[in-house]
Structure 1
Amino acid sequence: TARVVQAARGDGIMEFGLRRAQGPDAGIYGARAAMIGGCIGTSNVLAGQMFDVPVKGTHAHSWIMSFPDEYTAFKTYADLYPSACILLVDTYDTIKSGIPNAIRVFTEMREAGIPLTFYGIRLDSGDLAYLSKKVRRMLDQAGFPDAIISASNDLDEFLIDSLKAQGATITSWGVGTNLITSKDWPAFGGVYKLSAIMNKNGEFEPKIKLSENSEKITNPGNKTIYRIYEKDTHKIKADLICLVGETVNVHEPLLLFDPAEPWKKTKLLPDTYTIRELLIPVFKSGECVYQSPKVMDIRSYCADELDTLWEETRRLINPHKVYVDLSKKLYDTKIKLLDQMSAEETES
């Protein structure tokens, strides 16, 4: 979602994905995730009610088709929702029918003294770059320069970015399938393995899993995570995974290195960085000790955190990596266990 929001460059993104979701629960909680990622509203009314988030959207093509003609459908909708009148104009013919009928309704609203506070049209098919420019000219010439042009139709971050580059006059976007289904990455790659086990003395012993693939070799022990920020910019330098009990003193030098390529090192000078511990207890002794924030508060937190990423890491194509490093103590523990297991295999 955050990538889609970024591609829109300040325009509002509405979540339209319920029909394409992989089941009703995915539709509900996908809408929640989309709101956290930066959407301004969802068309999912139930999600809006459950999570107290804005509900936004337009009417469907079926609304138009249920009336004798397009104009009557538009007029009825405008009568019902005069303060939020976004008309879907591509049911029959966008240029020859949809826009002329929309302009007719907007003109009648103005002549009746109805304030045009939030109004416009939605495109859902065709060449969105070409149509949006032509529609913008038609609306402007008719005296409606502030009418919103919204668009949908299988949008994703790359298409939105392309439309922006082509000068499309769209300022509001409805995104469904590519928000709700994780279309480009349907399965999460990773391993979930034992990292420590309590011995008879009540102490945790670090454990490690070997693999033929180095990226699948686990990190042993109970851990905590510090986020390291560059002090001057408050941008993320790296996330540092440490063993529980380790502390970081910002008044001392800090050595960062890539655990996959440990010869690549960065040394942070004292007082040039700040830190924040990321892990927050959710369960203690089997009981929940965490009070979940409201979705809109999580959304604000997410936006603030995204601002701490370097622009280079947020590129849609070929982004720079965000570094996740190991503390020297954790790295040494890992290497020690690997050496022990290697020696045991050699002896056997």
Structure 2
Amino acid sequence: MTVRDFGDDGGDCGDGGVLLTDLYELTMLQAYFDATMNAPASFEFFVRALPPARNFLMAAGLAPVLDYLERLRFGAADLDRLARTGRFRDDFLASLADLRFTGTVHAMPEGTVCFADEPIVRITAPLREAQLVESRVMNLLHYATLAASKAARAVLAAPGRLLVDFGLRRAHGAEAGLLSARSSYLAGFSGTATVLAGLRYGIPMFGTIAHAYVQAHGDEARAFEHFARAQPDNAVLLLDTYDTERAARIVVDVARRLARDGIAIKGVRIDSGDLAEHATRVRAILDAGGLAHATIFASGNLDEYALRDLLDRHAPIDGFGVGTRMNTSADAPYLDCAYKLVEYAGVPRRKRSEGKATWPGRKQVFRRRDANGCIAGDCVALDGEHADGDALLAPAMIDGRRLAAPSLDASRAHAARELATLPARSRALTDAAPVDVAMSPALDALVRRMDADSA
């Protein structure tokens, strides 16, 4: 996989283009083609239930989805590859040659706090377009929302602290590494260690040194001095290759030599052991050695729970590198999400499967807030209904044309405002009473009527 396999602006981050889909999307398209079924259809993406200990989600992935939809097309090579499978007729394949996404997308803005059973994205388009994109739209929205929601919990657990995405090396593939950097920055992280993500999305980049760098030198003092002279504005030195506190004393000695040349040690990093205990001892060593300005940065299998515990112990740590457990969402590695048909040819549609029934019709989500501006409750209503509160879904693409969208930094600011509106109980790292999500009387009546008609 090369850099060229990723969209220039990071939207369609994956390899494979239009063929990155499930087989049944294409076999259904051929059957729709045979039956001349291509009336307007509306599908909605939502999460059926929150994972354990999750009291909210953060919507993410809209920009990559819109990039994917803009680029949707079958090239000659794609059609040839499908023809060689022997599964599809020539007349059907010929009909795909001019397929483009011509539909409309309504969505919660990225960074919006959301809950179970709420449509996050609604796609309305001719049936074959809306059906074809199901798998990739789900793939992008699911992962981005999963990572953003996990990262948001770390932001709430360590308010005001520097948080850096350290997740590339253990991410589940290159795309996950890029999208987790984007999602974590959206959720409030300070930056990323992943260079391509930093360059592509305009995310601040952070980096220190590896243990191998220290080991290659053999002598810690020489390693620290070489790096500080090579990166005089970013001299953050790794302490725990051998003995953490001894390395801190070496940093003090090196800093005195460097000061004569106008170079200051910016900070140190600790990556192993009892981080709170090491940080306390290192802080004392640095302060006594005249390096009170030097920051302490910690990493090593951190997540929101570890951050909470370190801060509860008053560890003098200024920033954290958070990677594996964030970008794999280790404690809740998937969302029970779905992309379901809610209307076809102007008629509401409802799935009644046991345990997986859906709410029919195109819908809107209205949010009520209390006197302090905190979320008081949401109402899922039929599109066109009026309910108390602010409507959350807004047009993002009309007739295949993307509307002006906020920058990633603007979406990040929106996410910060959203987190500030969460009720205190919803910010907890353990299960709490959920925010009330009600269905409107009209939506409830539609369900009863449809169920009665099909009984």
TM-score, length of structure 1 as denominator length: 0.84
Kindly indicate whether the alpha-carbon contact (under 8 Å) linking 1:7 and 1:161 is maintained by their aligned counterparts in 2: yes
Question: Which residue of 1 is the match for residue 442 of structure 2?
Answer: 329
User: What does the per-residue CA deviation read over 1:147-176, in whole Å, with 9 as the maximum and x for residues that have no partner?
Assistant: 211100000100111111112111110011
Cα-to-partner distance string for 1:32-68 (whole Å, 9 max, x where unaligned)? 0111011111000111100111011211112212224
- Contact 1:78/1:105 (8 A) holds in 2: no
Aligned to 2:278: 131
| Residue 268 (structure 2) aligns with | 121
Matching residue within 356, 359, 362 for 1:222: 362
- 2:347 aligned to 199, 205, 223, which one? 205
RMSD: 1.6
Instruction: Work out the CA distance in 2 between the residues paired with 1:212 and 1:10.
Output: 45
Mapping for residues 80-229 of structure 1, pairs under 5 Å: 80-96=230-246, 98-114=247-263, 116=264, 119-198=266-345, 204-213=346-355, 216-229=356-369
Q: Distance in 1 between matches of 2:349 and 2:212?
A: 59
Q: Distance in 2 between matches of 1:291 and 1:66?
A: 50
1:1-348 to structure 2, matched below 5 A, reads 1-96=151-246, 98-114=247-263, 116=264, 119-198=266-345, 204-213=346-355, 216-230=356-370, 232-248=371-387, 275-285=389-399, 287-341=400-454, 344=455
State the SS of the aligned residue for 1:312.
helix
Aligned partner of residue 282 in structure 1, secondary structure:
strand
- Secondary structure, counterpart of 1:164 in structure 2: helix
What does residue 255 of structure 1 align with? none
Q: After the TM superposition, which of the residue ranges 98-107 and 290-299 deviates more from structure 2?
A: 290-299
Equivalent residue letter for 1:123: I
* CA–CA distance in structure 2, aligned partners of residues 13 and 78 of structure 1: 23
Structure 2: gaps of 5 or more residues: 1-150
- SS of the equivalent of 1:195 reads strand
| Separation in structure 2 between the aligned mates of residue 87 and residue 229 of structure 1, nearest angstrom | 46
Letter in 2 for 1:110: A
| Cα distance in structure 1, aligned partners of 2:435 and 2:256 | 52
**Shift of residue 9 of structure 1?**
2.6
Q: Deviations over 1:304-328 (max 9, x none)?
A: 1111111111111123312221111
Q: Relative to structure 2, which stretch is displaced further, 28-37 or 321-330?
A: 321-330
**Higher-Rg member (1/2):** 1
Distance in structure 2 (CA, Å) of the matches to 1:47 and 1:94: 31
Flag the structure with more relative contact order, 1 or 2, with Cα contacts below 8 A and sequence separation at least 6: 2
Task: Return 317-326 or 31-40, whichever deviates more.
Answer: 317-326
Match of 1:265 in 2: none
Residues 121-150 of structure 1 show CA distances to partners (whole Å, capped at 9, x for unaligned) of 100011111111111111111122222111
Give the counterpart letter for 1:281 in structure 2.
P
Instruction: Give the letter aligned to residue 335 of structure 1.
Output: R
**How far apart, in 2, do the equivalents of 1:126 and 1:167 lie?**
16
Cα distance in 2, alignment partners of residues 65 and 326 from structure 1: 61
Q: Distance in 2 between matches of 1:219 and 1:127?
A: 49
Equivalent AA in structure 1 for residue 161 of structure 2: D
- On the 8 A contact 1:210/1:217 being kept in 2, the answer is yes
Q: In structure 1, how many angstroms separate the alpha carbons of the residues matched to 2:201 and 2:254?
A: 35
Q: Measure how far apart 1:284 and its partner are.
A: 2.4
Q: Distance in 2 between matches of 1:178 and 1:296?
A: 24
Q: Aligned equivalents of 2:250 and 2:172: distance in 1?
A: 36
Is this contact kept in 2: 1:5–1:12, CA < 8 A?
no
Q: Match for 1:236: what amino acid?
A: I
On the 8 A contact 2:165/2:322 being kept in 1, the answer is yes
Q: Which runs of 5+ in 1 are unaligned?
A: 199-203, 251-274
Contact 1:195 1:219 in 2 (8 A): yes
For 2:266 and 2:423, the matched residues in 1 are separated by 36
Secondary structure (helix, strand or coil) at the match of 1:340 reads helix
AA in 2 matched with 1:148? T
Contact 1:14 1:57 in 2 (8 A): no
Alignment TM-score, normalising by the size of structure 2: 0.65
Cα distance in structure 1, aligned partners of 2:404 and 2:238: 41
Identity %, equivalent residues: 36
- Could you give the per-residue CA deviations for residues 243-290 of structure 1, whole angstroms, max 9, x where no partner exists? 111123x5xxxxxxxxxxxxxxxxxxxxxxxx22111222323x1332
For 1:317 and 1:281, locate their aligned partners in 2 and report how far apart those are by CA, in whole Å: 34
Q: Is the 2:249–2:286 Cα contact (8 Å) retained in structure 1? A: no
